[in-house]
Amino acid sequence: MNTERRQFRRFLADDRAFACLRPHFTKLGKIKDISRGGLAFEYLYNKGCKEDPSGIDIFLSGNRFYLPKLPCKVAYDFHLGEDLIYISAFHDRRCGVQFGEFTEKQERKLKLFLNNHITGTA
């Protein structure tokens, strides 16, 4: 029997919501779900890229929202399926991160995001 280990309710993110791991920004993708405790995003992975994250940025396309340098650690990162035929060096992947401790400003901005840029519960 699977027991839900998440402490916070997850929400589906707006289609314009993206995340990018710091410091080299090699993992950039669309946010699939997000909560106060972390997020999951899907991205195209280049086999040659390695990243030990120092944080994650959350943003909306069109310069409508930007929340930089959220502390995090990678909880999982796995291959989603078949390689893309037209770009053989890349693979679809899903990455989940767990947030660390926020500053008050980061906490406010994350609440703003969760109140205004979600489409439902996951």
> Where do the domains of the chain lie, and which CATH numbers do they carry?
12-116 (2.40.10.220)
With residue 34 as reference, give the H or E element that holds it: strand 28-35
Give this prediction's pTM.
Answer: 0.84
Pairing relationship of beta strands 72-79 and 11-13 according to DSSP bridges: unpaired
- Give pLDDT, residue 6: 64
Of 25-34, 48-57, 63-72, 87-96, the one with minimum mean pLDDT is 87-96
Q: How far apart are CA 117 and CA 65, in angstroms?
A: 9
Q: What is the mean pLDDT of residues 19-41?
A: 93
